[in-house]
């Protein structure tokens, strides 16, 4: 299971991280989010935390961070590097497509 991140530890876990961090903004009542769940779990399994950290944030339990990043549709997936958003994805994508898009961004940045 992918580790959670909250409004409280977002700064430390994501913004101050020295590596890439992928954050999935989701909620239990959103069916595309549920569809993406196994894709996110597989991403977390696939990468070494030193290369890419994968975290999930529940937008029902955490309202500050989604608002700060203007999240108005879920699932939204943000890729962070050095505290900045370097890529944004919205909606479900199958694993291979999802991974290919992330890998491309990891190489570019």
Catalytic, out of 5, 22, 33, 44: 33
The one among 19, 62, 86, 92 contacting other proteins by CB under 8 A:
92
Give the strand pairing for 52-58 and 20-26.
Answer: parallel
Residue closer to other proteins (CB basis): 57 or 74: 74
Near other proteins by CB under 8 A: residue from 6, 90, 101, 105 = 90
- Is 30 a known active-site residue? yes
DSSP 8-state code for residue 12: I
Strand order in the sheet with 52-58: 3-4, 52-58, 20-26, 76-81, 84-90
d(CA 61, CA 81): 24
Instruction: Respond yes or no: is residue 106 known to be catalytic.
Output: no
Distance (Å, whole) CA 44 – CA 86: 19
Q: By CB under 8 A, what part of segment 8-47 binds other proteins?
A: 27, 29-35, 38, 42
Enumerate binding residues for other proteins (CB under 8 A): 27, 29-35, 38, 42, 59, 66, 70-74, 76, 88, 90-92, 94-96
């Amino acid at each position: 299971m992918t580790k959670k991140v909250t409004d409280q530890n977002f700064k430390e876990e994501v913004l101050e991280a020295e590596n890439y961090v992928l954050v999935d903004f989701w909620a239990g009542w959103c069916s595309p989010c549920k569809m993406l769940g196994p894709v996110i779990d597989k991403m977390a399994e696939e990468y070494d935390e030193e290369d890419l950290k994968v975290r999930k944030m529940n937008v029902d339990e955490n309202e500050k961070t989604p608002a700060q990043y203007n999240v108005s549709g879920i699932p939204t997936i943000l890729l962070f590097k050095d505290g900045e958003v370097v890529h944004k994805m919205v909606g479900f994508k199958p694993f291979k497509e999802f991974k290919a898009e992330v890998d491309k961004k990891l190489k570019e940045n």
